Amino acid sequence: MEVSVIRSSSSQAKICKTELAYRDLRFCFGKNNDKNKILSRKPNSVCFESQITRLRKTGLRFTVKAVHSEPILESKSSTRSKSLDRVRLFVGLPLDAVSECNTVNHTRAIAAGLKALKLLGVEGVELPVWWGVVENLAMGKYDWSGYLTVAEMVEKAGLKLHVSLCFHASRQPKIPLPKWVLQIGESQSSIFFTDRSGQHYQECLSLAVDDLTVLNGKTPIQVYQDFCENFKSAFSTFIGSTITGISMGLGPDGELRYPSHHKAAKSGTITGVGEFQCYDINMLNLLKQHAEVNGNPLWGLGGPHDVPTYDQSPNSNCFFKDHGGSWESPYGDFFLSWYSSQLISRGNRLLSLASSIFHDSAVNVYGKVPLMHSWYKTRAHPSELTAGFYNTASRDGYEAVAEMFARNSCKIILPGMDLSDEHQPHDSLSSPELLFAQIRTACRKHGVEVSGQNLASGAPGGFEQIKKNMLGENMMDLFTFQRMGAHFFSPEHFPSFTEFVRSLSQPELHSDDLPAKEEEATESVRMSSDSDIHMQAA
Amino acid sequence: MATVAVDSLLQNPTLSFRPKAKLLLKPSRSLNCSRNRKLLFSRGACFCGFKPRWKIHVVKASSIDTALIDTFDASSSDDVLYKESFTVKRIEKVAGKIFIRLDQSKDQRNWQLTVGCSLPGKWILHWGVSYVGDTGSEWDQPPKDMRPPGSIAIRDYAIETPLKKLCEGDMVHEVKIDFNPSSAIAAIHFALKDEETGDWYQHRGRDFKVALVDYLEDDGNMVGAKRGFFGIWPGVAVQFFNMLFKAEASHANSQSSSSESKDSKNENRQLQRFYEEQPIVKEVSIGNLVSVAVRKSPDTTKNVLYLETDIPGDVVVHWGVCRDDAKAWEIPAAPYPPETAVFKNKALRTLLQPKDTGNRSRALFTLDEELVGFLFVLKLDDNTWLKFKGNDFYIPLSGASSVPGQHGESDTASEEISSKAYTDGIINGIRNLVSDLTSEKSQKTKIKEAQGSILQEIEKLAAEAYSIFRSSIPTFSEEAVLETKAPEPAVKISPGTGTGFEILCQGFNWESHKSGRRYMELKEKASEISSLGFTVIWLPPPTESVSPEGYMPKDLYNLNSRYGTVDELKELVKSLHEAGLKVLGDVVLNHRCAQFRNQNGVWNIFGGRLNWDDRAVVADDPHFQGRGNKSSGDNFHAAPNIDHSQEFVRKDLKEWLYWLREEIGYDGWRLDFVRGFWGGYVKDYLDASEPYFAVGEYWDSLSYTYGEMDHNQDAHRQRIIDWINATNGTAGAFDVTTKGILHSALERCEYWRLSDQKGKPPGVVGWWPSRAVTFIENHDTGSTQGHWRFPGGKEMQGYAYILTHPGTPAVFYDHIFSHYRSEIAALISLRNRNGVHCRSTVKIVKAERNVYAAIVDERVAMKIGPGYYEPPSGPERWSSVLEGRDYKVWEAS
């Protein structure tokens, strides 16, 4: 019954209205529940159950109530609860939670951290599992011991685990690709993405070699597949119970994109447009074939010649110019279509691999899509183009991406939920919020669920923005907060994080302010006993 | 801090700056009096804040020597349900008097005003005079011969003279002012200040005023006034004084000798001797302990609560018990301790019994087991009530909330909890009324209590995790480390250069002190400044200063200035750091303004924490009669120049700089007027304070011949370089040479000046670029002073030069927030984008009459001047990225 109510309604929920309805509801139910009993069941945990759960339950209850008497309330409640799902909050574990030699770094700190998070009401933690740690020494030789230890700790702490399979490298902390892969790369640098000036990006393999037998007679895809299968068997006791989600690494930083920026931008400055990464031999081969098939062999000799360099602005060369830029020419369309389709195919290869491996487990499979928000307000969207998303003022590049995710029944993780337009550098033409909205729209259209992440760097006003994104019209089912570490627990940060977690359950506080409204102003934290009641009733 | 009877003064900001006494005199008499009285009255019922000290009970136990408390301790910890000591602050009032005597001095010619005070303290007489014929009520400085030794001038209208003890061991302090009655002085005005507490004492809310001529209008604050009613005003004082102190207050004595008035020799003056006393009350904060212990009675089912305190005098406990967390007071059943009475059917009053040993008093309460809490407040014998943070003391009897584990909590955490518990109580009370769901209510409270302890647990865990993570390499540096550009070699930070990629913002101009809230203004701009690409911000001099701009420092440890308070400064530095900016403090080390005069009346004795004497002053400036060594540099003649060759001076200054780093969080220094002392001392200071960046102001004149600037300014830049050398390169210096040459080049269209004979930049930046801080304007050269203003309208050419060239560029605040802003921002972003740094190579390709052009690091090309220039087409392809009035910049692709 509950489900049907939720799914059937289509209008948007506004939380304030919900509260209203909810209060009325409480009158109906408040007194005749045996609270003592309920309370004795959960005497000891702070419940930061998000309001979504409650509201959904409210919805349920409202239907009951409607039966009693008030049709108006019913309509209210159903509009309320329709889009609300439960937001589960995860926190990322340190990137180097497991060291290169497979020991757990700062075990005690992580143990204390897990306990704190559990008490705070966080649902689970995210654990990056590195290719370069597990399969470091030789192909097919896996060592999961460090990660298994962490998984046990998490399970013991009563938290859920979201595993990110990382087939890329990290610069800081330094976690390179497996040694044996790097050795191959030394003699065969074409396995890496390469830019126009011939510089290699050594932090992940080029998508062009996905199906080439460059790794000791195996293709990278086969190696990734072996890795995933081995992971599945090693963690079989956790998958579906403690492990509820798996992110498939799709490229640089795990994201589905080209490494269009080899270095991270300096904060506070305007990011340049980046560069196309189609200059390794294999990419060039693919491009050449594609051009020949299209009857324009001359277009297959290289990428566009009139593009700016990494840190330049779009207008410093012709390709991305707002008006009359080559991106709008037939050649531009040819190149960009090919470049972006290569990326989507790579995503498809990896996600179909993952979903075929994990489809019989009770876990969700995720993939991360970047938020290339710089220059979004120009017509060409150059940052997105160089990263491989053919999304311009005249073309929606995320439809195909969302469709690909839908095809593989995977969910999208969007990082950068803490970014707001307001805090973008002065005069920059970036718009994280608009881009975010566009991707969400595409996802909604294809029924792809979106979960959020913040950038680990802590954007100004980040918490507010995250909250806005999470509780806005488009609810998210999961949010992963990056990332546990010294800063995370520092006196400068942790209290605001606590505040943030508590504020996610703000509506719950409101629901409790019958009969004494003063409470919300004076009490710092409060769990509502009502939520317990509802939980039990539901 | 102790509050003071004449409290309204503290709220009167005009007093501490005291521009005009007029303001103080304006309010009408009646208004003033009544306001004053009310304040006094409310003081009487006031008590201070108070904090539970969670750990103190251990110490406490050892100091308590009764058998009873010993049994408490001896009994197993299971028995003790609760044990706590609270620190209580109460205000003790010390009454004393201010006396004012006007008398003829012994030689019968002069008169003498004596002001004294009978209370201990560091008393300062803050005084001035008004002259006959003065309209208005402004103060003037008294003539020099009237000022007693040790006086200090406060701006141009007042004098501060310390009161001296009459004799050692005596409480009475006084000061005598001699004056000639035939002078034109109409009245002496004063107020008394206690430097220990910073409190001011005045007469009925205004300055004391002693009229020396008889036609002066009595504004109501005149003391020793004739017409026989000078007894009246003190009478009022006695009245409200009594209200405060009831019977035991000592009466103010006011006795007059005016009846014996004698005509002075001066015909115009009808001076009369008088002697008058004014009662004053000084409030002293005193800490006491209240200890409470609860344990189970061994033989009955009851609990025994033991309360003890070291508050002197009669202490009455008003107490009650409660049966639930609503904390409603209830009177328990007997037995009660001795000396207990029921008070208005609401509470019990028990007088604590003095203990045999020590000055303590105590009581023992036997309470039924089912009671949940014990509530009390204390009433002292001066009618002061002591409460817990404004609420009742609450002692839980159930033992639930006093598990030993909780004693480790931090103060703040526990305070929160207790206040929360209180609000919970109120809310539950209301609930109770409304819904009458008693059982539900208590359940809820339990949950909330559980929640409170869970939050504490979370905090503890987080603190533990933090300490471990912090001790290893932080995993969070992800972004920060990625930001540093990969091709750069490991960045070496040195105080002379920072990272080498610094761009300075001068965060103030000559007028910035006027708003009085500069720090707060800058705080709002922190993220904006950072987002423009600046990495370092230079803040105005922070110390107390004789001049409002801050460059005449007085007490180096007093960081309340016209720019804001020390707390605002800390807040600002924190915000700037959060925005990613390093912060430079403007430190004036060359000179310092004295607070006292030496025996010759010369101002060279310092006050404040660094109370140096004239040995700290250089010997070769006759104005200040220093007893130190000769100056190691040029002298700045407006204030005593500090003798840096003295070991104690250097030690103090090093400590001060270190303190600024630690206390305020400054990252580095802008050193004022470093021409005044040897650069080697600067090295010493920088080695001690380890700044992230430091820059000195070595400003002297360029070389001119017949009024025309010489092309060769090598001698000028050599002097600056010599100074940098003396600091061993630990500091950079402002490139005054470059600024000077830019002036001539731009103003006279002589761009050829911008290349020296060897084809290098002609300023410091050409010789030692990493130590050159290039700038075109600052608060002295530009702003409203305009001592050496950059050619108007050509500022952007100047910035196009310094922001593309090596050296560390500094941008003046006025320019950033002007119509140049976007152009400057574009230049900064270009500099950052291309990684131009302080050691970048510059190739001058054109230095002709009307155009100068250079290529920096083969990545950036620039030209200034009206002439034509285009970068050569070669292997690099140049694209124009910026163009403005007479300048253009290209980037290589």
* DSSP assignments along B546-601, one per residue: SSTTS-SB--TT---BTTB-HHHHHHHHHHHHHTT-EEEEEE--SB---SEE-TTS
Percentage with pLDDT > 70 across chain B: 72
B238/B588: higher pLDDT: B588
Which residues of chain B have a CB within 8 Å of the CB of A312? 833, 891, 893
User: Which conformational region is residue B814 in: left (phi greater than 0), alpha (psi within -120 to 50 degrees), or beta?
Assistant: alpha
* Mean pLDDT within B502-514: 90
Which residue on chain A is closest to B430 by alpha carbon?
A: A516
Q: What is the C-alpha separation between B719 and B634, in angstroms, rounded?
A: 13
B440 interface with A at CB cutoff 8 Å:
yes
Q: Identify which of A457, A489, A516 has the shortest CB distance to residue B465.
A: A489
Local structure of B855: helix, strand or coil? strand
Report residue B70 as tokens: 């010993």
Per-residue model confidence as pLDDT tens digits over B819-839: 888 889 889 988 988 888 888
The full DSSP string for B60-125 is: HHHH---HHHHHHHHS-TTTEEEEEEEEEEEEEEEEEEEEEEEEE-TTSSSEEEEEEE-S-S-EEE
B46, pLDDT greater than 70: no
Confidence of residue B497 (pLDDT cuts 50, 70, 90): confident
User: Which conformational region is residue A253 in: left (phi greater than 0), alpha (psi within -120 to 50 degrees), or beta?
Assistant: left
Nearest Cα to B59, choosing from B84, B77, B76, B80? B84
Instruction: Please indicate whether, in this complex, the C-beta atoms of B427 and A108 are within 8 angstroms of each other.
Output: no
Per-residue model confidence as pLDDT tens digits over B368-414: 878 888 888 888 877 777 877 777 888 887 654 433 333 333 333 33
Least confident of A122-131, B50-59, B462-471: B50-59
A406/B38: higher pLDDT: A406
Report residue B748 as tokens: 């006279």
Residue type, B434: V
* Mean pLDDT within A327-347: 93
Which residues of chain A have a CB within 8 Å of the CB of B483? 264-267
B486 interface with A at CB cutoff 8 Å:
yes
* Mean pLDDT within B587-601: 86
Least confident of A40-54, A76-90, B622-636: A40-54
| pLDDT at B59 (0 to 100) | 33
Confidence of residue A84 (pLDDT cuts 50, 70, 90): very low
Chain B, residues 558-617, CB within 8 A of chain A, namely: 580
| pLDDT at B333 (0 to 100) | 80
B447/B194: higher pLDDT: B194
* Mean pLDDT within A391-398: 92
Among candidate residues B672, B735, B750, B814, the one labeled active-site is B672
B825 interface with A at CB cutoff 8 Å:
yes
A370, pLDDT greater than 90: yes
Which residue on chain A is closest to B421 by alpha carbon?
A: A523
According to DSSP H, which parts of B472-565 are helical?
Answer: 478-483, 518-531
Instruction: Please indicate whether, in this complex, the C-beta atoms of A44 and B454 are within 8 angstroms of each other.
Output: yes
B648 interface with A at CB cutoff 8 Å:
no
Instruction: Please indicate whether, in this complex, the C-beta atoms of B427 and A490 are within 8 angstroms of each other.
Output: no
| pLDDT at A209 (0 to 100) | 93
Confidence of residue B472 (pLDDT cuts 50, 70, 90): low
* Mean pLDDT within B733-746: 91
| pLDDT at B137 (0 to 100) | 58
Confidence of residue A141 (pLDDT cuts 50, 70, 90): very high
Instruction: Judge contact between B832 and B501, C-beta under 8 A.
Output: yes
| pLDDT at A238 (0 to 100) | 92
* Mean pLDDT within B91-116: 79
Which residues of chain B have a CB within 8 Å of the CB of A268? 530-531, 533, 580
Least confident of A517-521, B350-354, B693-697: A517-521
A43, pLDDT greater than 70: no
- Is B324 noted as a catalytic residue in this protein? no
Confidence of residue B240 (pLDDT cuts 50, 70, 90): very low
| pLDDT at B100 (0 to 100) | 86
| pLDDT at A224 (0 to 100) | 95
Local structure of A453: helix, strand or coil? strand
Highest mean predicted confidence (pLDDT) among B32-36, B256-260, B848-852: B848-852
* Mean pLDDT within B678-687: 87
Q: Identify which of A106, A457, A460 has the shortest CB distance to residue B479.
A: A457
B457 interface with A at CB cutoff 8 Å:
yes
Which residues of chain A have a CB within 8 Å of the CB of B425? none
Instruction: Please indicate whether, in this complex, the C-beta atoms of B468 and A44 are within 8 angstroms of each other.
Output: no
Which residues of chain A have a CB within 8 Å of the CB of B463? 489
Q: Identify which of B427, B444, B893 has the shortest CB distance to residue A529.
A: B444
Instruction: Please indicate whether, in this complex, the C-beta atoms of A44 and B450 are within 8 angstroms of each other.
Output: yes
| pLDDT at A189 (0 to 100) | 87
Nearest C-alpha of chain B: how many angstroms from A425? Answer: 6
| pLDDT at A269 (0 to 100) | 66
Strand A364-368 and strand A411-414: the pairing is: parallel
Instruction: Please indicate whether, in this complex, the C-beta atoms of B470 and A119 are within 8 angstroms of each other.
Output: no
Report residue B422 as tokens: 């209180």
Q: Which residue has the tokens 């709008």?
A: A328
| pLDDT at B239 (0 to 100) | 35
B843, pLDDT greater than 60: yes
B22, pLDDT greater than 90: no
Local structure of A332: helix, strand or coil? helix
Percentage with pLDDT > 90 across chain B: 12
B615/B772: higher pLDDT: B772
Q: What is the C-alpha separation between B768 and B763, in angstroms, rounded?
A: 9
| pLDDT at A49 (0 to 100) | 41
- Is B697 noted as a catalytic residue in this protein? yes
Q: Identify which of A39, A317, A523 has the shortest CB distance to residue B420.
A: A523
**How many CB contacts within 8 angstroms connect chain A with chain B?**
182
Dihedral sign for Cα B720, B725, B726, B729, please. Answer: positive
Among A45, A426, A483, the residue to mutate for chain B (most B Cβ within 10 A): A426
How far, in whole angstroms, is CA A183 from its chain's centroid? 32
Q: Identify which of B476, B486, B528 has the shortest CB distance to residue A263.
A: B486
Nearest C-alpha of chain A: how many angstroms from B511? Answer: 27
Per-residue model confidence as pLDDT tens digits over B264-282: 344 445 577 788 887 777 7
Instruction: Please indicate whether, in this complex, the C-beta atoms of A312 and B891 are within 8 angstroms of each other.
Output: yes
| pLDDT at B203 (0 to 100) | 67
* Mean pLDDT within B655-669: 90
* Mean pLDDT within A360-373: 92
| pLDDT at B270 (0 to 100) | 59
Confidence of residue A423 (pLDDT cuts 50, 70, 90): confident
What average pLDDT does the structure give for chain A? 77
| pLDDT at A212 (0 to 100) | 92
A235, pLDDT greater than 50: yes
Among candidate residues B84, B697, B735, B777, the one labeled active-site is B697
Which residues of chain A have a CB within 8 Å of the CB of B462? 112-113, 116, 489, 494
Q: Identify which of B463, B477, B580 has the shortest CB distance to residue A267.
A: B580
B528 interface with A at CB cutoff 8 Å:
yes
